[in-house]
Structure 1
Amino acid sequence: MAHFISQQTFDDAVRENIEEFGLEPQDALKETINQFEAQGVDLSSIVKELSLGPSKADEIKAAIEKLKELNKIDTPDKVLMDQMDVIRIECDKGLTNKVAVAKAGAYDVLLDVLDTKRSYIVVERICLKTLTSLMTKQPDLLDSRGIQSMFRFLNPKVDFDLKKLTLRWIKECCVMHEMNRQNIFNARVLDNLKDLLKDSNPEIIREVMSVFRALILDDDVRVEFGNAHEHARIIASEFLCYLTLLMKKYQTDESFIHDLILTVTALMVRNEFCKKVKDAGGIQMLLSIMENFKNNERVNRQCFKLIKSLAGNDDCKVYLIQVGLAPVYTTALEQNKNNVNTAIAGLNAIAALALRSPENSKALFEANMHTVMVEIMKLYPDEKQVQKSASRAIRNMVSRSRYQNDSFVELGVEELLQKNLKKFPDIEYDTKAALRDLGCNVHLKEEWTGKGGALTTGAVMS
């Protein structure tokens, strides 16, 4: 199990390597990292950079103190904003600078500005930008007072920029911080986000969706168990149908549709949610979106991922093909196969659609999907994940539809798979499964054999 240390412990160790052992700063940093990693310490949340020098630290502290004093007196807005810009620019230089600014007390001073300058919209905008810059990759600073400040701006009647900036601040505070997510969620943020979703401006809706996605992250290594699934369940139960209906309203807006499908896919954590999307007309809209954005690999990649999730529900898996997905899907994958991540997503969805479904496999085969699959394998011979996903898709296509075997073999798939056995030994299982179901020559290992002895139990037989 990984161990964790504080930033102070890490910085002290670097300093000791410089002062006690005479190492140069960069060498001391490298040696400290090696020492802790050898001890099994997780350094993912540690700033692995040299601390700022005393003079720079004093300069930052002076800037914070100046802002603190300016906030106490009747200061022209521009003077206050200029001082916050100085702090924000310092934060934008890097994580080390953010840490130094935080140590100087910037967080509390910025919240004081928000409290003092209520209704001074131009000042509040700059203050929110500065807070976001300060807390990006440094969300530990957030406390209950900060959450209260956030909620002040989550109101449809609040200035547009203030709402947008606050949503971005919330999102950054949720990244890699489970307790922030739980505290914000438990403060009933969904009630506020529900009101903001009624906003007709797509920019606000996109920011709300980014908050949804941040609330269901599971990326904090310091927490053994998070609430990502429960958050996703609650958000999906309340908002999934509404989000699905937005597909029709914004079906020609590329950026919006990309974020919308990304969000819907992230919320599909339970089987019954697939049916919610189907019942709301999401599958028909998905086909329309794929036709509208035939050559857009970003949008199609997200569509493929959503299809894979939907195919986890047996009724949706059948319905996807019934409404004519197969030819649309084949065209989309063919036209976007030159992006490796899109190709992988496409192959994964084929595997899900064809799994234990000979009817789906037949439809995909008749749409010439097998040709596209083999083309992708030939296009990325050295990409292990492509070959693994393709092997699974082939196995599921032919396992209950052996009449397809000859067509796959004629395209040269057997030679590709045999090469993969030597090239990628760690995906041997998937490769051999594809070869086996294609009827090709393959040596299968017996994973376990009994010793042939009689089994004994504590029971007495009479």
Structure 2
Amino acid sequence: MVIEISQETFDDAVKENVEILGLGEEEAVEEAVKQFEAQGVDLSKIIKDQMSKQQYEEITAAVQKVEQLQKTKGDVDNINKALDDLRLECDKGIQYKIAAGKAEAYHILLNTYEAFSDKTVKINALKTLLSLMTKQPDLLDDRGVAFIINNLKVQPQDVEIQKLILKWAKECCVMHEKNRQKIYDSHIVDVIKNQLDDLTPVEIIRETLSVFRALVLDDDVRVEFGRAHEHARVIASETLCSIMNLLTRFRGEEQLNLDIIVTLTALMVRAEFCKKVEDAGGLELIKTVMETFCNSGRIIRQSFKLIKALAGNDECKAHMPKKGYVSILRDSINASMDSAQTVTAGLSAVAALTLRSPENSKQFFDEGIPEVIVTAMKKHDSDKAVQKTASWAIRNMVSRSKYQSAKFIEIGAEEALRNDLKNFKEIEYDVKAALRDLGCKVNLKEEWTGKGGALTNRNAKRDNENDNEYED
């Protein structure tokens, strides 16, 4: 578990450094950071830049102005102006958001939304609430969860208001497992899954997909175990068919297609879901997306990740080369060769599709993938991620197809891998394993030794001759 402290604790430590040690404010902050980091405290959510008294008073006054106008049902123009001013204050930085939160801005904004029937006030209140709680989701309480669900149930609902509520729901889930579970347990999936139907505007579909993705995040360091897998399982079971239909209905919508691909990848947590995608014609649809948006680096990169996820199902993995995925992977990696990030994702997909599959490996070999892999290694010789995934791809291709080794060595794979041994100590095992499976001479370290006992370790087990391939 990660050790965390409150903002107040950090501020008190800074104050003590000033008053007791006589340090200047900047030195006091630096010393406090060193003290807490030495204790293993996570300071990622702590504000180190202190607000001046005047700045604190300004944002407090902005909150109070909104509260006053809300209680007196002030003029619409005046309340909108006050909301704009508060939002601008919150947009200045996280310390301003925290100060506004301490001044009860969260409840005041909810009260304002409920007190005014004017649409512009409701939209402004939601925009300000979104600004207040972006990167500060701790403010959400049971009232806020009920507010989200009840307003999403309202039909017909204004598109702009609905979009803002979905955005707010997503932000409340980011880096906050407790909020995720609260929102999920309020049956939000049942409420919004119908937003994927034929009558829903594209912008609402996109926000709905973003909520689904937020519900399956596992990014809160404060909790040891989350429920991301369970959330993904249920969302996939209830929405996969509808999501696949979106790929058919919106072939020309680039941004929506990207959202769909990213969402599908996040939901591929079980082999049965990969098969469900295939049964719905997904392999053809995903290939069509890659062909349609071949010049979109983001779509190609995310498609590589989805291919890797789908390869977790043995049937999908066997069928994908027959659907033309070998050539499209080759061509897409070549076309994206300047982007190390995209190349890494592409090589990872190659590694996944050739894992324990000599049939797939042969097709990749025949289509010229060895040249693509080695070209990527030479092009990005200083990029550790590219070199690591390339070593996986080489290893998986040759481990059960030894006849391919000569070709890899001929085009420079051994030289590239040996350079990696000099440059990247962190991936030494991966590189040596690739060299070993290529049949090259390599010194494998025995991490643990002993006499008269059954002393073993993880690396010794991984170096067993039967463990010939990489599996992510």
The answer as to whether partners of 2:209 and 2:259 remain within 8 angstroms in 1 is: yes
Does 2:267 align with 1:267?
yes
Q: 1:61 to 1:372 in 2, by over 3 A?
A: same
**CA displacement at 1:447 relative to structure 2:** 5.0
Give the match for residue 99 of structure 1.
98
Select between 79-88 and 16-25 the one with higher mean Cα deviation: 16-25
In 2, the alpha carbon distance for the partners of 1:47 and 1:232 equals 33
Give the match for residue 121 of structure 2.
123
In 2, the alpha carbon distance for the partners of 1:83 and 1:208 equals 30
Does 2:430 align with 1:436?
no
- After superposition, residues 81-230 of structure 1 pair within 5 angstroms as 81-117=80-116, 119-154=117-152, 155-198=154-197, 199-230=199-230
In 2, the alpha carbon distance for the partners of 1:187 and 1:137 equals 22
User: Normalised by the size of structure 1, how large is the TM-score?
Assistant: 0.95
In 1, the alpha carbon distance for the partners of 2:56 and 2:269 equals 46
Give the match for residue 409 of structure 1.
409
**CA displacement at 1:365 relative to structure 2:** 1.3
The answer as to whether partners of 2:63 and 2:105 remain within 8 angstroms in 1 is: yes
The answer as to whether partners of 2:2 and 2:222 remain within 8 angstroms in 1 is: no
Q: CA RMSD in A?
A: 1.7
Q: Deviations over 1:320-361 (max 9, x none)?
A: 011121111111111012111111101111111001111111
- After superposition, residues 251-290 of structure 1 pair within 5 angstroms as 251-290=251-290
Q: Deviations over 1:406-461 (max 9, x none)?
A: 22112111111111112222212211121122122222334556636799xxxxxx
SS in 1 for 2:41: coil
The answer as to whether partners of 2:177 and 2:223 remain within 8 angstroms in 1 is: yes
In 2, the alpha carbon distance for the partners of 1:454 and 1:374 equals 40
In 2, the alpha carbon distance for the partners of 1:301 and 1:279 equals 23
Does 2:394 align with 1:394?
yes
**CA displacement at 1:383 relative to structure 2:** 1.0
- Provide the identity percentage: 53
Q: Deviations over 1:113-132 (max 9, x none)?
A: 01111x32111000000000
In 2, the alpha carbon distance for the partners of 1:232 and 1:369 equals 33
In 2, the alpha carbon distance for the partners of 1:7 and 1:304 equals 41
In 2, the alpha carbon distance for the partners of 1:386 and 1:166 equals 40
The answer as to whether partners of 1:245 and 1:281 remain within 8 angstroms in 2 is: no
Q: 1:59 to 1:294 in 2, by over 3 A?
A: closer
In 2, the alpha carbon distance for the partners of 1:83 and 1:359 equals 66
- After superposition, residues 19-38 of structure 1 pair within 5 angstroms as 19-38=19-38
In 2, the alpha carbon distance for the partners of 1:111 and 1:228 equals 29
Give the match for residue 58 of structure 2.
59
The answer as to whether partners of 1:258 and 1:302 remain within 8 angstroms in 2 is: yes
The answer as to whether partners of 1:294 and 1:331 remain within 8 angstroms in 2 is: no
Q: Which amino acid aligns with 1:134?
A: L
In 1, the alpha carbon distance for the partners of 2:395 and 2:435 equals 8
In 2, the alpha carbon distance for the partners of 1:452 and 1:19 equals 62
In 1, the alpha carbon distance for the partners of 2:401 and 2:226 equals 42
**CA displacement at 1:61 relative to structure 2:** 2.0
SS in 2 for 1:153: helix
The answer as to whether partners of 2:59 and 2:99 remain within 8 angstroms in 1 is: yes
Select between 263-272 and 189-198 the one with higher mean Cα deviation: 189-198
Does 2:254 align with 1:239?
no
In 2, the alpha carbon distance for the partners of 1:48 and 1:266 equals 34
| Stretches of structure 1 lacking an aligned partner (at least 5 in a row) | 456-462
Q: 1:453 to 1:427 in 2, by over 3 A?
A: closer
Q: Deviations over 1:188-243 (max 9, x none)?
A: 11121123222431111110111111111111111121111111111111111211
In 1, the alpha carbon distance for the partners of 2:85 and 2:453 equals 79
**CA displacement at 1:251 relative to structure 2:** 2.3
Give the match for residue 382 of structure 2.
382
- After superposition, residues 306-385 of structure 1 pair within 5 angstroms as 306-385=306-385
Q: 1:448 to 1:63 in 2, by over 3 A?
A: closer
In 1, the alpha carbon distance for the partners of 2:453 and 2:248 equals 65
Q: Which amino acid aligns with 1:133?
A: S
In 2, the alpha carbon distance for the partners of 1:88 and 1:135 equals 11
Q: Which amino acid aligns with 1:391?
A: S
Select between 251-260 and 147-156 the one with higher mean Cα deviation: 147-156
The answer as to whether partners of 2:149 and 2:186 remain within 8 angstroms in 1 is: no
In 1, the alpha carbon distance for the partners of 2:52 and 2:425 equals 50
Select between 17-26 and 122-131 the one with higher mean Cα deviation: 17-26
The answer as to whether partners of 1:156 and 1:196 remain within 8 angstroms in 2 is: no
Q: Which amino acid aligns with 1:153?
A: N
| Stretches of structure 2 lacking an aligned partner (at least 5 in a row) | 456-472
Q: 1:314 to 1:55 in 2, by over 3 A?
A: same
Give the match for residue 296 of structure 1.
296
Select between 299-308 and 361-370 the one with higher mean Cα deviation: 361-370
The answer as to whether partners of 1:7 and 1:47 remain within 8 angstroms in 2 is: yes
**CA displacement at 1:54 relative to structure 2:** 2.1
In 2, the alpha carbon distance for the partners of 1:156 and 1:371 equals 56
In 2, the alpha carbon distance for the partners of 1:33 and 1:235 equals 41
Give the match for residue 45 of structure 1.
45
The answer as to whether partners of 2:283 and 2:320 remain within 8 angstroms in 1 is: yes
SS in 1 for 2:42: coil
In 2, the alpha carbon distance for the partners of 1:156 and 1:344 equals 45
Runs of 4+ in 1 over 6 A off after TM superposition: none
The answer as to whether partners of 1:377 and 1:390 remain within 8 angstroms in 2 is: yes
Give the number of aligned pairs: 453
The answer as to whether partners of 2:196 and 2:243 remain within 8 angstroms in 1 is: no
Q: Which amino acid aligns with 1:259?
A: D
Q: Deviations over 1:136-184 (max 9, x none)?
A: 1111111111122222331451101001111111111111111111111
In 2, the alpha carbon distance for the partners of 1:271 and 1:428 equals 31
**CA displacement at 1:258 relative to structure 2:** 1.0
